[in-house]
Amino acid sequence: MDIGLSRNLNPQYLAWWHQRYARQAEWTRALRFHLYRRLEIARRKNILEIGCGTGVITGELAGRTDSTIFGLDNNAAALRLARIKGSNKGPIWIAGKAEKLPFGDESLDLIITHYFWLWVGHPDIVCNECRRVLKKGGKLAALAEPDYSARQDLPGCQPSIKEFLINDLTKKGADPAMGKKLESIFATAGFKATGGSVGDKTTFEQNPELFRQEWELLHKLGYPRQVLESTEIMTVGRGMIMPVHWAIGRKM
C-alpha cells in the first residue's frame, strides 16, 4: 500500500491523513502558539489558512479567536472532512488554489500556512497572490515548514531514512528543503521578512509516541519493514533531529 507523502490526498486514506495532520500539530504546538502571540491573532478581523487540508489548524484558530476564519484547499474531499470535523462556530471552507486566491485586493489581515510550502511548485506566484490580498501591514506567516534535507536519525541505518523520505517527496514534486528557503523567498517577493527554526534532538525516551508514528508512516510509505525491525527504531537509545522553520512576511 503506497499512500504517498503527498498533498494529493487519496479520499480512501483521508481519515489516516487527518490523524497525521493532528500529530504534526502536536509536534509544532509550542512554536505555533508562540507565533500566534507574536502575530496578535486576537486583533485580526479575518485570517486565511492556505492549504488547510482537513482543517486541523483552521479549526484551532476558530476556537482561539473571534476573527472570521477561512480555510482554503484545492482538495474537495479534504474540505468535506473538514466540514464534518468542524464545530457550529466553524471556519468558512473554500475550494480554491493558492496561485489564484478567491479574495479581493487588500481584503485580508493575516494569511497562515502549516507544512504547506514544500508542495508549492511556484512560491513566487503564491507570494505575489498573498501580497495582493493582504492589507497594508498585513502578514503572511509560515507557522511550521520542515527541512528534510537536514534531518538526522541517530544512530543511522541503511537505507537512510532521510534519503528515503527526500526521494519520496521529490518524486511527488515537493521541495524537501523548502523550510530553510522561506525567509529569503518572502523577502524576494517584497515582504519585510523574518524567520527562524527549531531543531532540538528528540529521543525515544522523551517521546516514544513520536517514534511509533514515524515507524507507522515509514511502513506505509514502503520503507523496508525488515530494516525497521532490525534497526529497532522504537527502542531506547534512538534519536531524531528534524529542523522546522518558520517565517513571517509583513506587507509594507
The Cα-based distances of 101 to 41, 110, 158, 172, 242 in angstroms read 21, 14, 43, 23, 31
> Given the DSSP bridges, would you call strands 192-198 and 244-250 parallel, antiparallel or unpaired?
antiparallel
Note down pLDDT in tens along the chain; length 252 residues: 223 334 555 666 788 888 888 888 998 999 999 999 999 999 999 999 999 999 999 999 999 999 999 999 999 999 999 998 875 568 999 999 999 999 999 999 999 999 999 999 999 999 999 999 999 999 999 999 999 999 999 888 888 999 999 999 999 999 999 999 999 999 999 999 999 999 989 998 888 888 888 888 888 889 988 887 776 656 778 899 999 999 999 999
- Give the span between the Cα atoms of 2 and 75, in whole angstroms: 19
pTM, 2 dp: 0.91
Report whether the peptide linkage leading into residue 243 is cis, meaning its omega lies within 30 degrees of zero: no
Q: Going from the N-terminus, what domains does the chain have, and what CATH number goes with each?
A: 11-146+175-199+244-250 (3.40.50.150)
Beta strand spans in 147-211 (E): 152-154, 192-198, 202-203
